[in-house]
A and B are shown apart, each in its own frame.
Chain A
Amino acid sequence: MFNIVRPDSKIDFLSKARLFGGISIGSFVIAVAIISIFGLNLGLDFSGGHEILLEFDGTKNVRIGQVRERLDRVASGDIAQEEGGKRSVETAVQSFEVPTSTSTFFLARIERQQTFGDQEIQAFDAAFRAKYKEFFKRIRYNPDAGDVVEVEFVDNATTAMGKPIDPADLEAIVAGTQHEVRLVRDIGRPDRPRFSVVLKGIGVSVVNAMRDLDPSVRAARVEFVGPTVGRQLRDDGLLAVLYALMCILVYIALRFDVFYSPGAVICLFHDAVVTVALLAIVGEEFSLATIAGLLTLVGYSINDTIVVFDRIRETAGKAQGAALREVVNRAVNETLGRTIMTSSTTLLACICLMALGRGTVLASFGEIMFVGIILGTYSSVYVAAPIFIYLRERFGPKEVARVAKTRSAQFEV
């Protein structure tokens, strides 16, 4: 029987509890500071906007600068008219690797919240009014809807004007502003004319703008997330995680006792926050896949904490003071073999995901888990356990149990 950890290992983990406790608190505070100062690099899922993966067939040498320049032109096209470019549009281009393909890929992103600005809508309004005078009623634009503008006319406008409204005219007015019109639809009743002007969407405009670089260009992937959806996804996710933590808190309080749960939950917070801060530092994009990774990390961390807590519960009895510390120390030592085995197999699996899943979300998932496993193992010992000891010494039963007598004086370090 080969052992990684000597069966009689008696490492005094808790002797360093103060030091590591300080480090944990410090890193937590720094992590919160980093997140609040630098902010998160929110991916499309949360920020809303458009993301287009451009594919060039590789026969022509397309440079990233050329793509960026054209993208900026499309993105700011209609906004240039606004006063002093007050509303800036964030764009980003990065090259993207698809190993199985010989094509060149660029990931273009436009973080545009809505298709038209207020000024632009007013300009449309004025243009329609100039053309149709009193027969024009108003235009309706729902920023969430993105690519659709509705044009309404007054009741019986066609009879009053003596001629029908030509959709081509409507198209001309909207298309005058950099947008490509997909179609104009008649959605009214004969006595109440109304049209919806549907744009081709920014994706098509971006691809068209790239045509002069290389006619082979096409969109391999187009993603659009509306502003409210992004907010909803974020709020739903956060709320779900908060409720899940609350459930864990209650369950541990019932199965163990109330002194255990705060440690377990704070330890989860610690792991999640520090990992998020690390992601913020390396500029990793925060997407729904990242959330999935974080959830897995939290799941792993709670698993680890429960294994250690289970050992403590088994032997703690009513121990207090030094005896309690010894119980905890022994529990950590006894589970050490398991901890090392589990973390190493999982770390290996993560390395496989990182190495072989490159370019897919699996890799970023692996990275998060890699950090998470190390943090989760560390925090079970240095965050969850010390908090448990502290709470129990402060508020727990005061009798000193028998275990204290059998306390061994010597610890190996």
Chain B
Amino acid sequence: MERSWYWRFLLVLGFVGLAAYYAAPSAIYFMATPEQRRSKSELEAMIPSWLPKHRFNLGIDLQGGLHLVMGVDADKAVQDRTDRMGDEILEEAQKKDIKLKSVRRPGDAPELEIVLEDAAQWEKLKSVLEAWKGSWAVKSHLGDTAVFSMDSAYETKLKDDAVAQAQKTLTNRLPVVGEAEIRRRGASSIMIQMAGLTAEQETSVKQNIIGRTAQLEFKVVDDQSTYFNEIADQPDRPPEVELKSESYQGPGDAIVTRPYLESTDRAKLKAFLDRHPAPLGRVVGLEEFRTSKNDPKPVYRTWLLNKKADLTGESLTDAFVHFDTEENAYVVIMNFDRKGADAFHRLTKENTKRKMAIVLDDLVDSAPIIQGPIPNGTARITLGGFKSQNEILDDANDLAIVLKAGALPAPVFPQEERTVGATLGDDAVRKGKLALLFAGLATLVVMIAYYRWSGVVALTAMSVNMLLLFAILAAFDATLTLPGIAGLTLTIGMAVDANIIQFERIREELRMGKTARAAVDAGFGKAFSAIFDANVTTLLASIVLYQYGSGPIRGFATTLGVGVLVNTFTAVIVPRLIFDYFTKARRVQELSI
């Protein structure tokens, strides 16, 4: 026996072992009953903890659930911005004693028509308008009328932000039941998929996200109350809810210690808080805290806030990230309109060195410390924490998006909505399993009847193929949909075909009077080019389909592409290994083919 055989054998064995390890959680998932599949805790109990956490999921079409595609009316956000721009121009003009007859948006385009009472004041107005250079420009000017229009790059950015904000808002609003997947799809759509919802949960999801816009509020944090300490002593406190505290320099440079409750279980924390109402005029806000962006398990922290919002997002005109060259740090700048600026000034003066919570849709996003009174309507938030510059930039962008979501909310509307009842999904899975099982059995019978022991070799190769394929899909947390199963069947078909091509070639060589060993060598050699070309063509096609296709076509392309890759490996290596063992080690003269 050649040494290379042992190496190849070890390679295949290694791959199979690794694949079995990765495919195991998915296999357990598939064997589970539909009820077990839907319960997260039961599933966790079934899958041993030493197995990988990755496994694949069934798509909405297979396990039932809600598939929503929400469109974002980004044009609306741009128009709103334009309207606010009009307000700002009016304000500025008034300050500079420029008399304006009117400022209006004539159509849906982001353009403002400014009419002066006195055409001679144009130069003065022009210098005012210069302040928005970069994002706005004077498009035309004739006599007393000027057209001020939004820069197209700025418009694109606004629209892009609008979609990001809508995604943030939608994420905030989804109740924590089942597993939700939220992804951006195309330029202005957001896809939401939630599996295993009851009818009531589904209604509440839709209620929560359709036809609503984001609510941004600024609320001062109550750091004096002992409310959290008191309720933490109550006997009904669940063990998951812990009392903690944080310290920072508060008013008069005194150290303030603020107590709060923390828990990883949002539902239990919420229920506990509901049993113990907050003091008069106060409300408890929850913060979803993650140590890093990709942290899958957030903890929930409580904040005691003023019940009435001290300021709302309506007063905010804009928010953006800015690199401060003096401090050498990223900061978030907020601009308030005139009314907002006054309120903000009062708020910051009265609450210097206190924390101010930024609340989006009842969830506390963050709570910066007010460093001093802010009189001019422009506030800056410096971000900190032991983080790298890049992480801080990420945080700053997130915060700016939250602030903008409140300032310029873009309406979202359903574009696509699919609900598959759980029973229908279960039925599809049951039938699919049965159909695939019988399809496999039929192939098995035909292959063994015709190719005898070689048929068994082909099926061994196919099993290794499926195992590797499942392991790779599981490692990538792929979602299996019906089109995905279609891609899988084509893969199996091509795998079996590859073996048939090889066997027919070996038969041909045998008929020409070659020995078993020579026939195997020649047969595999000659069959290779056809198998290789067929697989590469299909791989190319699946890459293109994945790149340009959407939704179901992508699902098909994923399984097909991965399948074909695995195919070129297994269909060539595994049968050869077995044939070589029999012809070379066992010196079999007569092939069962």
Contacts and interface: CB of A to CB of B under 8 A. Distances in A.
Interface of A: 1-4, 7, 53, 55, 98-101, 142, 144-148, 150, 182-183, 185, 187, 189-190, 196-198, 218-226, 228-229, 232-233, 236-237, 239-241, 243-244, 247-248, 251-252, 255-256, 288-289, 291-293, 295-296, 298-300, 302-303, 306-307, 310-311, 313-314, 334-335, 337-338, 341-342, 344-346, 348-353, 355-362, 365-366, 369
A306 B212 contact: no
A120 B483 CA distance: 40
B13 interface: no
B207 interface: yes
Given A146-B413, A345-B443, A288 B431 contact: no
A171 to B, nearest CB: 13
Given A145-B414, A233-B551, A345-B447, A292 B483 contact: yes
A337 B504 contact: yes
Nearest to A150: B411
B424 interface: yes
Nearest to B449: A2
Given A244-B545, A337-B504, A348-B439, A360 B431 contact: yes
Nearest to B339: A191
Contact of B552 (A145, A150, A182, A288): A288
B186 A232 contact: yes
A360 B482 contact: yes
Contacts of B211: 147-148, 182-183, 185, 187, 196-198
Given A302-B537, A356-B438, A142 B553 contact: no
A303 B534 contact: yes
Main SS of chain B's interface residues? helix
Interface of B: 61, 69, 71, 73, 186, 189, 199, 207, 210-213, 314, 409, 411, 413-421, 423-424, 426-428, 430-432, 434-435, 438-440, 442-443, 446-447, 450, 482-483, 485-487, 489-490, 492-494, 496-497, 500-501, 504, 507-508, 510-511, 526, 529-530, 533-534, 536-538, 540-541, 543-545, 547-553, 555-556, 560, 593
A296 B486 contact: yes
Contact of A338 (B426, B430, B500, B510): B500
Contacts of A293: 486
A250 to B, nearest CB: 9
Contacts of B427: 98-101, 359-360
A101 B428 CA distance: 13
B505 to A, nearest CB: 9
B556 A240 contact: no
Given A182-B207, A360-B482, A148 B411 contact: yes
Contacts of A356: 431, 434-435, 438
B466 to A, nearest CB: 14
A380 to B, nearest CB: 12
Given A145-B73, A289-B483, A251 B540 contact: yes
18 contacts: A98-B427, A187-B411, A220-B423, A221-B419, A226-B71, A229-B69, A248-B540, A255-B536, A291-B552, A295-B545, A298-B541, A306-B533, A307-B534, A342-B497, A348-B439, A355-B435, A361-B61, A362-B485
B439 A142 contact: no
Q: State the majority secondary structure of interface residues on A.
A: helix
A98 B544 CA distance: 37
A374 B173 CA distance: 52
Interface centre among A183, A197, A306 (most CB of B within 10 A): A306
Given A147-B211, A147-B414, A295-B556, 8 more contacts: A100-B426, A224-B418, A243-B548, A292-B483, A292-B555, A338-B501, A342-B493, A346-B497
A306 B537 contact: yes
B416 A229 contact: yes
Contacts of A150: 411
Contacts of B540: 244, 247-248, 251
Given A7-B511, A146-B414, A237-B553, A353 B544 contact: no
Contact of B593 (A1, A189, A298, A348): A1
Contacts of B537: 248, 251-252, 302-303, 306
A236 B497 CA distance: 31
A196 B410 CA distance: 13
B543 to A, nearest CB: 8
A303 B497 contact: yes
A280 B534 CA distance: 30
Contacts of B435: 352-353, 355-357, 362, 366
Contacts of A228: 415
B244 to A, nearest CB: 37
Given A144-B415, A306-B534, A53 B212 contact: no
Given A303-B497, A348-B446, A233 B550 contact: yes
> Considering the complex of A and B, which 8 residue pairs feature the smallest CB-CB distances, nearest first?
A145-B413, A198-B211, A310-B530, A349-B439, A292-B483, A240-B548, A240-B549, A224-B417
B438 A352 contact: yes
Nearest to B502: A338
B419 A360 contact: no
Contacts of B417: 222-224
Contacts of A341: 446, 450, 500, 504
A342 B413 CA distance: 49
A248 B500 CA distance: 23
B443 A348 contact: yes
A148 B431 CA distance: 38
B423 A101 contact: yes
A244 B501 CA distance: 25
B533 A344 contact: no
B419 A338 contact: no
Contacts of B497: 303, 307, 338, 342, 346
A108 to B, nearest CB: 14
B500 A225 contact: no
A98 B545 contact: no
Contact of A223 (B210, B411, B418): B418
Nearest to A264: B537
B415 A229 contact: yes
A4 B440 CA distance: 21
A12 B114 CA distance: 84
Contacts of B199: 218
Contacts of A237: 549-550, 553
A105 to B, nearest CB: 9
A345 B419 CA distance: 36
Contact of B314 (A101, A189, A243, A314): A189
A269 B398 CA distance: 48
A243 B545 CA distance: 8
Nearest to A146: B414
Most chain B CB within a 10 A radius of its CB, from A144, A221, A293, A335: A221
Contact of B71 (A145, A197, A225): A145
A80 to B, nearest CB: 26
Contacts of A240: 544-545, 547-549, 553
B380 to A, nearest CB: 24
A291 B553 contact: yes
Contacts of B536: 251, 255
A296 B492 CA distance: 12
A53 to B, nearest CB: 7
Given A236-B550, A310-B533, A345-B443, A244 B541 contact: yes
B212 A349 contact: no
Nearest to B550: A236
B414 A334 contact: no
Contacts of B538: 299, 302-303
Contacts of A101: 423, 427
Given A226-B71, A352-B438, A292 B486 contact: yes
B439 A353 contact: yes
